[in-house]
Amino acid sequence: MTLQDLEQQIESLAAASFDDLKMHRDVAVNAVHRLRLELNKGEVRAAEPDANAPGGWKVNAWVKKGILLGFRLGKLTAQSLSVHNADNWGFFDKDTLPLHGFHLEDNVRLVPGGSSVRDGVYVAPSVILMPPCYVNIGSYIGAGTLIDSHALVGSCAQVGERVHVSAASQIGGVLEPAGALPVVIEDDVLLGGNTGVYEGCIVKRRAVLGTGVVLTGSTPIYDLVNSRIITRVEQASSPAVGQPSSADPGPLVVPEGAVLVAGARSVAHKSDFAREHGLSLYAPMIIKYRDEKTDTRTALESVLR
């Protein structure tokens, strides 16, 4: 089966009724398994570079439909390391401090803990995963990237090469709707501690997000260097038959080499109450663009590799 055949099969299965899926469950499960294998190899991606798409990336909706199909087909089962032939993956602790026990009858969906990478993720050679971290299905992690402690890489996120995802950072998952662009972090980006990138934002190569910077699709970025406000760009969508054309919000794009810090902007002009209490809103700001000094301060330690 070619990848084109797999795409067509998943599109058909994703549109099938519950009864049809139940009747052909083995075929559907095999298609989801094949998709996971291709995702593991990096041959298929939830999103991929495309110079003609907004922000330089396009979403492969059929891949996300296949992942959602896996959730739709899945049955709650008891799982152990031996199921995946991982007998060499052991944990050792005091015998007086055992793990809390669960049973299938508890109907608790217990995802493997510590550092976990779900099947259906491409993790390139030389990637470092520091415990505890979690990488969800459909993600792509490029070579030389470090995922630090307490960091999360959400479903279908695309992370480039030599990226540093610092401690407690979160890259949001964008699984639904299937056509929505996932979060994209391009090569040589530094996400500082406790940062968050959500809702299909694109962080272009060599950008730096300082500690505590949080970005969503609707977050305005204040570029102090170029005296401008960066917002998501609306793009024309193809109208349905008989319907007027509309504009879909495109991704929020962090410029290449931008250095962002968490700032604030006054809302005193909004009301007497805001002025009386000196209120302000969170506002991420670009304070500079990357230079040699930035490169020195953000370089990944080769000795740790």
DSSP state of 232: P
When pLDDT is averaged across residues 49-63 and rounded to a whole number, the result is 95
When pLDDT is averaged across residues 240-257 and rounded to a whole number, the result is 70
Looking at residue 242, what is its pLDDT?
47
Confidence check: pLDDT of 299 > 50: yes
CA angle in degrees (0–180, nearest 5) for 133-137-141: 65
d(CA 278, CA 10): 55
Looking at residue 92, what is its pLDDT?
56
CA distances from 10 to 31, 47, 207, 303 (A): 7, 16, 36, 44
Six-digit token string for 195? 């940062």
Looking at residue 294, what is its pLDDT?
75
Q: Please, what sign has the CA dihedral across residues 126, 130, 132, 134?
A: negative
Contact 183, 175 (CB under 8 A): no
Q: Please, what sign has the CA dihedral across residues 302, 290, 152, 10?
A: negative
Banded pLDDT at 304 (limits 50, 70, 90): low
When pLDDT is averaged across residues 207-225 and rounded to a whole number, the result is 97
Which CATH fold topology does 115-293 show?
UDP N-Acetylglucosamine Acyltransferase; domain 1 (2.160.10)
Compute and round to an integer the Cα radius of gyration of the chain.
Answer: 22
pTM for the whole structure: 0.85
d(CA 295, CA 298): 5
Domain locations in the chain as residue ranges: 115-293
Least confident segment among 68-82, 112-126, 230-244, 285-299:
230-244
Among all chains, which residue has been given the structure tokens 């080499």? 257
When pLDDT is averaged across residues 21-49 and rounded to a whole number, the result is 93
Looking at residue 11, what is its pLDDT?
97
Banded pLDDT at 74 (limits 50, 70, 90): confident
Banded pLDDT at 245 (limits 50, 70, 90): very low
Q: What is the mean pLDDT of the chain?
A: 86
pLDDT digits (tens, 9 = 90+) for 149-186: 899 999 999 999 999 999 999 999 988 888 899 999 99
pLDDT digits (tens, 9 = 90+) for 249-275: 789 999 999 999 999 999 999 999 999
Least confident segment among 58-62, 129-133, 156-160, 218-222:
129-133
Residue 5, exposed/middle/buried by CB under 10 A (0-12, 13-18, 19+)?
Answer: exposed
Looking at residue 241, what is its pLDDT?
44
Strand, helix or coil at 128?
strand
- Buried b vs exposed e over 104-119: b needs ≥16 C-beta within 10 Å? eeeeeeeeeeeeebbe
Least confident segment among 6-10, 220-224, 239-243:
239-243
Percent pLDDT > 70 in the chain is 82
Q: Identify which has the larger pLDDT, 102 or 128.
A: 128
Looking at residue 302, what is its pLDDT?
56
Looking at residue 94, what is its pLDDT?
54
Q: Where are the beta strands (DSSP E) in 45-195?
A: 47-49, 57-59, 116-117, 122-123, 128-129, 134-135, 140-141, 146-147, 152-153, 158-159, 164-165, 170-171, 184-185, 190-191
Q: Which helix (H) or strand (E) holds 273?
A: helix 272-277
Alpha helices in 15-45 (DSSP H): 18-23, 25-41
